[in-house]
């Protein structure tokens, strides 16, 4: 399997653990070539066997092919549901009822989409679909090359509408629980 542009092994291990403990749907914003998707799908397989929705535009056809090849090689394709769209496009699909299973909420949300401040702010709307007690993980938090990630998350956590508390930080993976 090829894993360029991927989470670190220690972060993949944490995503596996979170998915294994998940009690419902798992959603990932930004999948690239699938390392994090596979970690969560394997965790889900060891736990409740809930589907993992992988949302990514796969603008680069080579990344999409690698993603598909990787999830097949890992033998988790039966759990992975590809949603080929940007985060906002997938949100519109949800709003229009194209992805009706999202109505029941998620137990785990992993955000690793575009890293610009504005994009992360938009991705934060997905937190509203996480069930109370569910987990939210953000990749590249406090990563020096991605200052917009930490800025958007820190603003969100300090706002009046905060819906989560920090429970762990694994390298640049911030893990929160929905309150």
Q: With bands split at pLDDT 50, 70 and 90, how would you rate the model's confidence at 145?
A: confident
85-91: Cβ within 8 A, 24+ apart: 85/55, 85/56, 85/57, 86/57, 86/113, 86/114, 87/29, 87/30, 87/55, 87/113, 87/114, 87/119, 87/122, 87/123, 87/126, 88/122, 89/57, 90/29, 90/55, 91/122, 91/125, 91/126
pLDDT for 143:
85
Q: Where are the domains of the chain?
A: 9-178
Q: In this predicted model, what pLDDT tens digit does every residue of 31-89 receive, in sequence order? A: 999 999 999 999 999 999 999 999 999 999 999 999 999 999 999 999 999 999 999 99
pLDDT for 169:
96
Q: With bands split at pLDDT 50, 70 and 90, how would you rate the model's confidence at 160?
A: confident
Question: Over 70: is that where the pLDDT of 99 sits?
Answer: yes
pLDDT for 3:
61
pLDDT for 5:
60
pLDDT for 6:
74
Q: In this predicted model, what pLDDT tens digit does every residue of 12-31 receive, in sequence order? A: 999 999 999 999 999 999 99
- CA-closest candidate to residue 62, choices 102, 110, 4, 109: 4
- CATH of 9-178 given 3.40.50.150, 3.40.50.2300, 3.30.565.10, 3.20.20.30: 3.40.50.150
Q: Give 129-146 as a 3 state SS string.
A: HEEEEEEEEECCCCCCCC
Q: Are strands 26-29 and 130-138 parallel, antiparallel or unpaired?
A: unpaired
pLDDT for 4:
58
Average pLDDT over residues 99-113: 86
Average pLDDT over residues 143-160: 90
pTM above 0.75, yes or no: yes
In terms of phi and psi (left: phi > 0; alpha: psi -120 to 50; beta: otherwise), the region of 5 is left
């Amino acid at each position: 399997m090829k894993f360029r542009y991927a989470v670190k092994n220690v972060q993949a291990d944490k995503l596996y653990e979170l998915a294994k403990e998940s009690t419902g749907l798992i959603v990932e914003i930004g999948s690239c070539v699938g390392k994090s998707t596979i970690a969560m799908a394997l965790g889900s397989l060891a736990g409740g066997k809930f589907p993992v929705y992988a949302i990514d535009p796969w603008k680069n056809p080579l990344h999409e092919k690698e993603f598909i090849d990787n999830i097949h090689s890992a033998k988790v394709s039966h759990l992975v549901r590809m949603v080929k769209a940007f985060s906002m496009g997938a949100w519109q699909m949800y709003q229009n009822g194209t992805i009706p299973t999202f109505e029941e909420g998620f137990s785990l949300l992993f955000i690793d989409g575009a890293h610009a401040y504005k994009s992360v702010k938009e991705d934060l709307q997905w937190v509203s679909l996480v069930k109370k007690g569910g987990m939210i993980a953000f990749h590249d938090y406090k990563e020096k090359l991605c200052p917009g990630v930490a800025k958007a998350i820190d603003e969100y956590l300090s706002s009046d509408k905060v819906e989560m508390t920090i429970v762990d930080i694994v390298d640049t993976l911030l893990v929160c629980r929905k309150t």
